[in-house]
Amino acid sequence: MSFQETPQELTKVEFARIFFRLEFQETFDLRGETLLRLRRDLIQAAFGIFSDRGMFCNSFTPEWFQKLFDPQPSPDPEGRRRHRKPSPPFAILSNPQDAGLFEPGDHLDMEVVFWGDGISLIGDFLTTLQSLGRQGICKGQGVFTPVSAFTLAAPGQRQEFWREGEKVRMLTPSLFSAAWELDRINLIPDTLSLQFVSPARLISGAKPLFKPTFARIFPFVLRRVTSMLFSHCDFEVLNDPQELIALAARVEEGESRLTWKDWRFLEADSGMVDLGGVVGTTRLSGETLRSIYWVLHLGALMNIGKGASFGAGHYRLTW
């Protein structure tokens, strides 16, 4: 495969881009950090589903729960070495700017991209959202009801495929291949901007990436994309990532406003611990952008860094 081209095998990689419309049932001040801390509450909501149904015991969880929230490593030893433990097969594309004061009847659209084997779990995710709505989005507050779900039928066009009261099984959203998604970009520019919409918690050598540059960020994007494709789409896209990393190192970084920002504080035995991530925008240029663009574009639909599946590390590409 030439690294100047998008891998042809991406025609076999499918994803679904879903918008779940949530209607709040009470006044709730939704904070940006709440949108990035959904993992614990979603898992608690999922446990509540099969606990209510009498399915729960300490040694048993339903298969759908494991596939959705705790997927197991590949049986392939080499695959396990390269990709380690897989992430959930979805990515919530959170935007902290959607936060604010919600009154009863106000709507929030939650955008979630499901990849490969995660597509069949959309109904289970929706059921989990229904359970989360009953318990509240955060610490018992922010009760909501999922009232509809939309699929991205074409660029810029949403089509409703589920409405409150209908069954959540056998949902049929529109599916797209990764190759189609990339092919619709008529001309890849020599200059573009990469903007982090939500903080990306990037850890290198057990240390946060306090001085982010594109050359240091790109390996995180590449690792995320290749891992998701391998784990959930049964597709090993690269044998040697170093060639693409070398091409990314040749990308020219112009005006960069990337920085590390603390956005959350945790109590620990040693006192308060800061948690943060990379935020801001950087301007990129150069011919090698065309060789790595497919990685950047798919990464924008997967998020990167710690908590990527649950909303952290979401970025956008503009030109």
Tens digits of residue pLDDT in 117-147: 999 999 999 999 999 999 999 988 999 999 9
pTM of the model: 0.92
Angle between the N-to-C axes of helices 242-249 and 289-299, in degrees from 0 to 180, rounded to the nearest 10: 110
Structure tokens, 300: 């924008």
User: CATH for 185-318?
Assistant: 3.30.70.1900
Give the CA angle between residues 86, 91, 96 to the nearest 5°.
Answer: 135
**145-154: pLDDT as tens digits:** 999 999 988 7
Quick one: pLDDT band at residue 264, thresholds 50, 70, 90? low
**Domain residue spans in the chain?**
14-177, 185-318
**62-90: pLDDT as tens digits:** 888 999 999 988 887 777 777 778 999 99
| Percent of the chain predicted with pLDDT > 90 | 68
Q: Say what the alpha-carbon torsion angle 158, 230, 95, 120 is, to the nearest 10 degrees.
A: 40
C-alpha span between 202 and 176 (Å, rounded): 29
The CB density around residue 106, as the number of other CB atoms within 10 Å, is 16
Q: Is residue 198 scored above 50 in pLDDT?
A: yes
**φ, ψ at 264 (rounded to 5°):** -150, 150
Predicted pLDDT of residue 306: 93
Q: Is residue 4 scored above 90 in pLDDT?
A: no
Q: Is residue 271 scored above 70 in pLDDT?
A: no
DSSP letter assigned to residue 155: T
**Contact by Cβ (8 Å): 277, 305:** yes
**Which residues are bridge partners to 276 per DSSP?**
262
